[in-house]
A and B are shown apart, each in its own frame.
Chain A
């Protein structure tokens, strides 16, 4: 009987400990939205970097901002309807290649940005989820040739609670980092 009582106390204590790290639904929703917002930021940055009308200095500034969205060592996949393999590039190289694409006009649009795997708390205290996006790419070369494709991409998202001291105040903030971007489908 006593053993049973002690077991119940131990289970209750464990439940209290594990429950401490769970966010309220309202806070979780805010964190979910923040991560989606970072993916939308990336979408906008890619569009600016790829756009041939963007001044060189602006494109470089935006590349810096875009790089900051990623965790170190992340890779971005590139596919084509003309080949079956997918090439993966380190983030900086991907953006440099994007800026230097051999087209006269480039339009990149992301749509249907949504979670396919919700942010889940990991044992290391980070939240990890996967957001899927569709990218519509259109490039027109100097001789008028047009290339278009639509790719489905899965983006791993890491969210971590951090703290910093600002003006004597301790500020708790959510650090969102994007991981690898994997191409899962390519079509015309």
Chain B
């Protein structure tokens, strides 16, 4: 009788263990499924963030891109494609930092050049006639490498990022001053060529100075 009782207890214990084991197994399976889903989510999110940086058409500043890269890295994805995108973004940021440094290193505006250019702009804008403005334009163009010298106009600055108006040339810009009879921008940066002539001019809206 006792043996039967012992056997029954063992049987119950075995059943309980079996049930428990299969329960653990299904819980483990569920946990694995959840982990795989989270991993897939993180990979998708990382890719989305990284591609948004790589495909940016100039809306994001370098600082914003760096912040997004940190967000993507925080998702800890070891997916090879994500790692490759991270490498591409780091390379892009390195190039942007170098370009920004080069801009900072560019020759700062010589006060004399700034004054003479500023005076030229004001005189053209306030010229009494088109012919006198044309004379001033002709004279002013001699300060530049060519009439096609690039003129960039900053319309807004946020952090390390500048927003520009459509690039123009110095000849068009001087004629614009004549037509508008106003000089709405001031000198921001000047680059000169080997002969000391202005090879690139960067202006900034007076309203945001």
Contacts and interface: CB of A to CB of B under 8 A. Distances in A.
A167 B156 contact: no
A173 B99 contact: no
Contacts of B208: 30
Contacts of A26: 156, 158
Interface stretch (A40-48, A96-104, A128-136, A180-188): A40-48
Contact of B156 (A6, A27, A58, A62): A27
Contact of B45 (A2, A13, A41, A58): A13
Interface string B37-62: 10001000100110010000111100
B179 A20 contact: no
B57 A162 contact: yes
A84 interface: no
Contacts of A164: 167
A9 interface: yes
B161 to A, nearest CB: 8
Contacts of A171: 152, 164, 167
A6 B37 contact: yes
Size bin of chain A's contact surface: 35 or more
B83 interface: no
A34 B179 contact: no
B200 interface: yes
B180 A41 contact: yes
A62 B133 CA distance: 15
Contact of B166 (A24, A31, A175): A175
B167 A166 contact: yes
A168 B106 CA distance: 13
A31 B165 CA distance: 9
B179 A65 contact: yes
B155 A20 contact: no
A123 interface: no
A174 B130 contact: no
B163 A172 contact: yes
Contacts, number: 100
A103 to B, nearest CB: 20
Contacts of B152: 166, 171
B175 interface: yes
Nearest to A22: B59
A99 to B, nearest CB: 15
B59 A167 contact: no
Contacts of A44: 179-181
A67 B53 CA distance: 35
A182 to B, nearest CB: 25
B99 A169 contact: yes
B116 interface: no
B158 A167 contact: no
Contact of B52 (A20, A40, A54, A170): A20
- Between B48, B164, B175, B207, the greatest number of chain A beta carbons within 10 A of the residue's beta carbon is seen for B164
A33 interface: yes
7 contacts: A2-B34, A29-B156, A30-B156, A163-B58, A173-B164, A173-B165, A176-B166
List 3 A-B pairs, minimum CB-CB distance, nearest first: A172-B58, A30-B156, A173-B164
Interface of B: 34, 37, 41, 45, 48-49, 52, 57-60, 99, 102-103, 130, 150, 152, 155-156, 158, 161-167, 172, 175-176, 179-181, 184, 191, 200, 205, 207-208
Given A45-B179, A172-B164, 6 more contacts: A6-B41, A16-B48, A24-B158, A40-B180, A167-B191, A172-B163
